[in-house]
Structures are given as structure tokens and as C-alpha cells.
Amino acid sequence: MLNISLLNQQHLILIFMPILSGAIGWFTNFIAVKMLLKPLHPVKILGITFQGLLPRRHEKLATHLAAAIAKDFFTEKNIENFIDKADTGELIDRFIKDKWDDVIKNIVTNIPMLQMFLSEEMIISIRDKVAETFGNNKKAFNQNLVEAINNKVDLEGTIKENILAFDLERLEKIIEDIAQKEFRYIERLGGVIGFIIGLIQAVLVVAFF
């Protein structure tokens, strides 16, 4: 009776080994996934500081990400393409005409003598000619604008500041929404691998002991 009971206990242990191993594998991956993002802020437990990987490396991540975006995405050619798509010729034309109507008409109105030499048709004609001249030179304007952005705007620093200012809780929510399925897959994969390892251990125990 003692031998039968001992044998049943051994069988239970062999069956329990892969289950326990699978549970440990799942739980380990579950903790690892959670610690990518949590806790958002440093927490001390028994003198040891715990914080999620991404929150802890937030500044370093912002530095490298900003450098990569500024170098690879906001190149001089890309900035020029962005400005070209904005159709600066039309913007220049509208700006000149609006300002001309506001400023020149006011000057002519306040200087009656000018009204003797400049009719409204002449003023409009001059305005349109000036707008056309600037509009025809939009490529040179665009190039000057690109150079000004590259020389005077710290794109990398600006991008870094915006990344650092981004709310960590919102970042956590975005990452969880995007990678929720992948996180669950990683957790389950840990369980499957753990179960297989436990099964192999049980087979080895039966084979050699």
C-alpha cells in the first residue's frame, strides 16, 4: 500500500512539473512585459528602486529618437518637399495682395497728392505685378526658407523637448493599445516554453531515475 501511494505521488509530481514550469514561464514573461511600462514613476521596495524600462529610459530614448528623426526624416530635401507641397507661391501672392490693400491704400488715402497721379486701377496693376514677381521667384524663396530652418531652428532639440513633454500615461496607453496582442503572445509563449521544459525534465526523471 505504501509503495502504491508513493508511486501515485511520483506520478503527480511528474504531471505537476510541466504545469508548474509552464506557470512560471508565463508569470515570468507577464512580469517582464509589465515592467516595460510600469511603474511609471520610481518606487522603492526594500531599498531597491523599481521603474518601468521605457519611463526610466525616457530621456535617453528621446535623445536617440530625436537625433534619428532630425537626421533621417527632416533632411534638407524633405523640408524642401514639405514647403513645395504647401504651395508657397499662392501664399506669397495672397499675403502681398492682402498687405498691399491694407498698407498702400491707407498711404494713398492719407496723401491726397498721390491720388492725383495714382488711380485705383494703377495701384491694383502695380500690386498684381509685385505679387507676380515674387510668386515667380518662389523657388528661391523656398530655398532661403529651407536654409533658415536648417541654420536657425534646432530641429533635434525641438523634437526631443516635445518627446520629453509627452505624457507618460498617454504613451503607456498608446503602446498598450498597439502591442496588446503581441504582449499576450509573449506571455503565452513563456507558458508554452516553460511547459515544454517541464515536460522534458519529467521525461528525463523517468528515464534516468
Q: Is it the case that residue 139 has pLDDT exceeding 80?
A: no
Q: Is it the case that residue 172 has pLDDT exceeding 80?
A: yes
Separation of first and last alpha carbons in the chain = 22
Exposed (0-12), middle (13-18) or buried (19+): which is 37, by Cβ within 10 Å? buried
Q: Domain limits of the chain?
A: 22-56+167-209, 75-166
Of 8-22, 26-40, 155-169, 190-204, least confident by mean pLDDT is 8-22
Closest CA to 32 of 202, 206, 204, 183: 183
Q: Is it the case that residue 14 has pLDDT exceeding 90?
A: no
pLDDT top residue among 53 and 2: 53
Range 133-152 average pLDDT:
78
Average pLDDT taken over every residue of the chain? 81
The pLDDT score that the predictor gives to residue 76 is 78
Question: Can you list the pairs that 83-90 forms with residues at least 24 positions away whose Cβ atoms lie under 8 Å?
Answer: 83/142, 83/145, 83/146, 84/142, 88/138, 88/141, 88/142, 88/145, 89/135, 89/138, 90/135
The pLDDT score that the predictor gives to residue 30 is 93
Q: Is it the case that residue 4 has pLDDT exceeding 60?
A: no
Q: Is it the case that residue 196 has pLDDT exceeding 90?
A: yes
CA distance 138 to 140: 5
CA distance 145 to 137: 13
Phi, psi values for residue 167, rounded to 5°: -60, 125
**For the segment 74-117, what is each residue's pLDDT rounded down to a tens digit?**
887 888 888 777 777 777 777 777 777 777 767 666 666 666 66
Q: Report the predicted TM-score, pTM, of the whole model to 2 decimal places.
A: 0.61
The pLDDT score that the predictor gives to residue 2 is 43
